[in-house]
Structure 1
């Protein structure tokens, strides 16, 4: 079911769709962290990743592989971060599930060690 207020339920015609399947769609992030930053979302309006059906999870994972291949060919990154924010405490600001595929490039940060652990900066270094 679509939410008329949800920006992901109402994608603009200007969004470059990377790939889609029956249950999910992928497009480039409107506020990219790095070139090629992509989002993969379920077509059904669902706020939490943990409320997705197993079929929706599988569909999103299938698109993740397709999108990674296309991003690799177009942007040639040196690595990737993959993540999903669940609820406001974890930084979710659009309450429609979205998986980030963030291409990483050598030198884009001083020290990338710890990767996604950087969501809590004091715990990133170990």
Structure 2
């Protein structure tokens, strides 16, 4: 596989530049966490690096480490905020691996015993629900 170029016009790059809206949960110098607009379950959110990275195949190791730290922080907050039984963390790479947006991102989805995930690419969630869930998770960050 040949290395592919990062597209600075991907939707997450636009969110980072403020060109598209997002329901922010958390932000630090290196990472940004926000709600997934087509959630596979209540509280489904994303963590992305601020530095350009197409996926795990090209991200700088230090940047990946910051994404991992933020992912853990948000995963703990999601479990607390939703009183979840567990959490699913997913990350996809290249089209063959299921990646759709080519800016590295971690999916964090609270999970509940006996409750299946919604199918991927499902309907967009109401903005007021996303805003309320973002606030709920942000308040749960320790």
- Which residue of the partner structure matches residue 87 of structure 1? 94
- Distance in 2 (CA, whole Å) between partners of 1:34 and 1:9 is 24
- Which residue of the partner structure matches residue 123 of structure 1? none
What is the CA distance between 1:45 and its match in structure 2?
2.1
Residue 59 of structure 2, aligned match among 52, 73, 80? 52
Return closer, same or farther for 1:2/1:95 CA change in 2, 3 Å cut-off: closer
- Distance in 1 (CA, whole Å) between partners of 2:71 and 2:100 is 21
Q: Does 1:41 align with 2:48?
A: yes
Q: State the TM-score, normalizing by the size of structure 1.
A: 0.77
Q: Which has the higher contact order (CA 8 A, sep 6+)?
A: 2
- Which residue of the partner structure matches residue 31 of structure 1? 38
- Which residue of the partner structure matches residue 115 of structure 1? none
Q: Secondary structure at the match of 2:57?
A: helix
- Which residue of the partner structure matches residue 11 of structure 2? 7
Contact 2:79 2:87 in 1 (8 A): no
Structure 1 unaligned blocks of 5 or more:
110-126
Return closer, same or farther for 1:19/1:2 CA change in 2, 3 Å cut-off: farther
Residue 62 of structure 1, aligned match among 66, 69, 84? 69
Structure 2 unaligned blocks of 5 or more:
1-5, 117-142
Q: State the TM-score, normalizing by the size of structure 2.
A: 0.69
Contact 1:21 1:59 in 2 (8 A): no
- Which residue of the partner structure matches residue 127 of structure 2? none
